[in-house]
Amino acid sequence: MTQNYFESKDMTKKEKVQFVIDTLEKIYPKVPVPLDHKDPYTLLIAVLLSAQSTDARVNTITPLLFEKADNPYDMIKLSVEEIRAIIRPVGLSPMKSKGIYGLSKILIDKHDGKVPQNYEDLEELPAVGHKTASVVMSQAFGIPAFPVDTHIHRLMYRWNLTNGKNVTQTEKDAKRLFPKELWNKLHLQIIYYGREYSPARGWKIENDVIFQKIGRKSIVK
């Protein structure tokens, strides 16, 4: 690998962060939410379904599910088995179907059928972890959050902006480095960039302009 890929290695951390922001804004001035939804509840269900699946696959299944139940009151009229039969193509259907039924019942019993706007209540729902809660807070309610998925975790490490130990540390580093007012848009921009220019497989460094500028030299063999 030629040295010119790392010609800007003396950039300060602040300069690197600004380069990431500017580059992503240039490539992705507008970023749609990848999961189709119409309200906080349907987004919550879509995000839950997306675990270890693709957004494209989830977007083919949610219309079938939401045709039968697009709110918690209709969802609990279905059995767990009926939900599972619909969502089977996205994978992990036994766990996800129980989670969807269980969280729908809790939303009715404890939250008047509405999705709560805080982490504590969201993360108490079955099958809802911190990342899912963060996506809902960010994309459904516009509350600043920085959900870290595999793309963001991978890129933050490649860009030498985190030590890559775990997603919890990556989230902390992202929130520390990037301005809070940019979090909601920026995390989506990074996801799109990761899919298009810096994937886990078939990665071509010559296409990855951000890595070329600020990348972690040690990962290039």
Query: Which residues form the catalytic set?
Result: 131, 149
Amino acid at 4: N
104: part of which helix (H) or strand (E)?
A: helix 93-111
Q: How would you write 20-46 as a 3-class SS string? A: HHHHHHHHCCCCCCCCCCCCHHHHHHH
Give the orientation angle of helix 40-49 with respect to helix 93-111, to 10 degrees: 150
- CA 139, CA 153: separation in Å to the nearest integer? 19
Contact residues for 82 (Cβ-Cβ < 8 A; gap 6+): 68
DSSP state of 136: I
Nearest to 144 by CA among 186, 90, 205: 186
